[in-house]
Amino acid sequence: MAASLLRQSRPCLRQLTRQPIFFRPITSTIRPLGASAAAASPSQASEQLFFPEEPKAPIVHTKIPGPKSQEAIERLTKVFDTRSLNMMADYTKSYGNYIADLDGNILLDVYAQIASIPVGYNNSSLHAAASTPQMISSIINRPALGNFPQSDWASILETGILSVAPKGLNQVFTAQAGSDANELAYKAAFMWRRQQERGGQDVEFTAEELESSMNNKSPGSPDNMSILSFKSGFHGRLFGSLSTTRSKPIHKLDIPAFDWPQASFPMLRYPLDDPKNAEYNAKEEQRCLDETEHLLTTYHNKPAAIVIEPVQSEGGDNHATPNFFRGLRELTKKHNVLMIVDEVQTGVGATGKFWAHDHWDLQDPPDMVTFSKKAQTAGYYFGSNTLRPNKAYRQFNTWMGDPSRALLFRAIIQEIQRLNLVQNTAQVGEYLYAGFERLAQAYPKEIVNLRGKGQGTFLAFDSPRRDEVLKSAKTVGINIGGSGGRAVRLRPMLVFQKGHADILLEGLEKVFQS
């Protein structure tokens, strides 16, 4: 059955010509799971690989965690919380699309550090970028960017982060992590709104505002503003971002929260392009738009902005159509509310476009777009000068980002462009989705609500026995993750190719047969 699910590949992709600088090939030690896994798949045999020295298939010597990993976990548990541990990795032996552990197991990694590895483990181009004098200086002389930016900071931003800025957004505020990026965007939204109410950026603060803010009281600390988010959304775990996170109670329990509204995110029927689902989905999206407008106009703490993910990732991989997002943008313009698009997980090529919101064909770009994960740095893009605070130190911290991580993102961008990896992800996504369609037909009780068509490799499906599937996948050499209550989500790297897709499909079929 597995062989029937494989399909001949399309024209070859460009070959990665630079070999890893320090990685020693491990293919000579491979012990594949079985005959079907040992042989290169039809796609692998005919496509040129980005990582030619990768294993031809996963290797599983022991159960995971094995004895060496268990020993390391026991040691770590004494000084660090390991209750969320997935596996103990050995990054000196991880390469390309494969993650290794301490026991010699090497797994095809389609989880990729929760969607955060863009161009493969131990990528030689990134190693070269990390070895430059510019990088070394940025690491050992880390600047407090707000006060002492390095002389080439503008160049680093212009040739890296800003070279891939979303359409219409030509400025950036750099940050530490995705949660931090969202919180800073929220602050920008609140300052923008109060500047409007005050009469402009040039209007000085009143004595009452200055004094009351020190006591966390209005008007200096307004108690009548909010950020509107959506049910099942995830935007981080810091205090402000946590108040907009609605994915799981475990994230929010015991933490004080702001009185901020949440609107319904469309719960659609899949596949989205099935005519049988069109009427229902259109009504559901309109219901959610109507609810959003009601909250924008009536909620007692008036929203200064909405925040939304192009695909609700942590909350279960929930999709909506471009019509829904275009409708949201029209509502924000109509009611003078900012639109923040959270591209922390969806950005940097994973959906077959560099930014997932490019799929929407918006007439007006979002006001802010936050990013992190595959960028290996963080921050938010914006375009309007009205989103710059009117005084220094209002958006400020010691680091205000990290030049070394910005340099790494620049190298990632160059590697993406050199190998045409966004287009690769779009093409491989089509191939992979078709393979999952065939698996779903063969195992309809195992793959439910397959979704993500046309969204690169940003695919997911629901599984009635999700946690068992995730655990069993490791026994066949696949590291894969979940989201929400029952979704299996795919988050492969941008260097994931059709041969890897064949291995993934074949491995999951073995899990479904067990």
Question: 92, 96, 89: which is closest to 19 by C-alpha?
Answer: 96
Residues 274, 398, 445, 471: which is the catalytic one?
398
Half-sphere exposure of 488 (CA within 13 A, CB side): 25
- Type of residue numbered 174: T
Query: 370 and 306 in contact (C-beta within 8 Å)?
Result: no
Q: Is 342 a catalytic residue?
A: yes
Q: Report d(CA 289, CA 292) in Å as an integer.
A: 5
Q: Is 234 a catalytic residue?
A: yes
Residue 382 token pair: 């914006």
Residues 51, 190, 230, 234: which is the catalytic one?
234
Q: Report d(CA 96, CA 121) in Å as an integer.
A: 5
Residue 372 token pair: 């992190």
Phi (first) and psi of residue 96, to 5 degrees: 60, -125
Q: Kind and range of the H or E element at 173?
A: strand 171-175
Which residues, 6 or more positions from 439, have their beta carbon under 8 angstroms from its beta carbon? 5, 446, 447, 505, 508, 509, 512
Secondary structure (3-state) at 280: helix
Residue 324 token pair: 């829904």
Which residues, 6 or more positions from 410, have their beta carbon under 8 angstroms from its beta carbon? 129, 156, 159, 160, 161, 163
Residues 342, 402, 462, 502: which is the catalytic one?
342
Phi (first) and psi of residue 108, to 5 degrees: -65, 120
Tokens 């959906």 belong to 351
Phi (first) and psi of residue 481, to 5 degrees: -120, 175
Q: Is 398 a catalytic residue?
A: yes
In sequence order, what are the beta bridge partners of 95? Answer: 98
Residues 93, 302, 353, 373: which is the catalytic one?
373
Residue 39 token pair: 């042989």
- Just list the catalytic residues: 234, 342, 373, 398
